[in-house]
Amino acid sequence: MKSFVTVLFVVYELYLCESQGISAGTPVFVLKGEDVDLNFTKAVVLGELEYLSWKFNKKNVLVTFSSDKKKVFDNYTWRIEFPGNNYSVKLKNLQEADSGVYSAEVTQGSTEVLTEYNVKVQDRVSPVNLTVSSFSENSSSCSFTATCSSQDSHTNSTFSCETRTCSQEGGERSEGIPDTFLQVHQSSGSIICNHSNHVSWTNTTKRIKDVCHQHDDPPPPNPVPIILGVFFPILALAITGAVLWYLRTRRTSKSVNVENTVYDTAQFGAPDPTDDEDSAPPLSSCYACVGPHTGPPAPTEPRNTAQLESVYAQVRKTTPGP
């Protein structure tokens, strides 16, 4: 962008020199409302009979200098400043009507022009619009016409795109009114509409992939389904494992508690009748005393008619003596 403006500036200078001659002075572009410095490139010394004057368009006098005093003319009383002691001046708050040639002349019988400036006051450029029309598209390419327009002018250009490469028919297109330039071109995957002059510029852009939809990059995969698809199976396995571990631990704990419970140790034999109550040891906790069977043998009956009765031991409750 900067290189483009520089080229246009050089072209304009050449055009200015050809149309107005070298005497038109050095081109100076000033933004409306800003100031301009009218300087000398070499030291100036005035004799006693000489005076120097700054003029606008050869006839309107801004200020005059002599060897011992200076005079500012009425129209510029509040607009002139003196930044140094070398007869340079600063003209403030320039408007478009201030565009013209400013010259410094030394007079002593005859007039000699010491320096000239061709000042051009410019306003900021207006915003620009970029529109796309005449659009066509197929599976492999697309083409469209881009129109760049401002308040005063417009220019357009046709673009043809294949895959990711676009070409502009006729190269970069530009149009200009004096000192103002309107351009449409492509850069870095975008169509750019630029409006500029020597003191300001503005632009607007459109991405080519927004115009040619088949060149859009595929959207990135949505990570949410992937995360959920991995997370939930792992969570389900973890919960299942925890439940199985809990049930197994609980079952093992119950089994250990049942096997280790001992109410009392069974004792065989009957108490000795000679032992009296006073000498008998205290009774231990005995829920039932199991001893050998001492009763008469059970009658023999045929196996197929009598109910079998298996007596492993006779349970007899012990009672304390009188």
Tell me the residue range of the domain where 210 lies.
129-215
Residue 194 placed within a domain = yes
- Structural domains of the chain, count: 2
pLDDT of residue 44: 85
3-state secondary structure of 259: helix
Q: State the Cα–Cα distance between residues 155 and 146, nearest whole angstrom.
A: 9
Task: Count the alpha carbons within 13 Å of 126 in the hemisphere toward its beta carbon.
Answer: 10
Task: Classify residue 98 by its DSSP letter.
Answer: G
Residue 19 has pLDDT above 80, yes or no: no
pTM of the full structure: 0.55
Please provide the size of the chain in residues. 322
Quick one: which of 168, 159, 164, 33 has its CA closest to 93?
Answer: 33
- Mean pLDDT, to the nearest integer, of 254-265? 54
Q: How confident is the model at residue 308 (pLDDT cuts 50, 70, 90)?
A: very low
Q: Which of 185, 215, 245 is the last residue of a domain?
A: 215
pLDDT of residue 122: 94
Of 279 and 127, more confident: 127
Residue 316 has pLDDT above 80, yes or no: no
Could you read off the pLDDT of 96-107 as tens digits, one per residue? Answer: 999 999 999 998
Q: Which of 4-8, 163-167, 287-291 has the least mean pLDDT?
A: 4-8
Q: State the Cα–Cα distance between residues 112 and 52, nearest whole angstrom.
A: 10
pLDDT of residue 15: 44
Residue 266 placed within a domain = no
Six token digits for residue 5: 């403006």
Give the CATH number of the domain where residue 39 resides. 2.60.40.10
Beta strands in 36-140 (DSSP E): 36-38, 51-56, 60-65, 70-72, 80-81, 89-91, 100-108, 110-122, 129-137
Specify burial of residue 61 (Cβ count, 10 A radius: 0-12, 13-18, 19+). Answer: middle
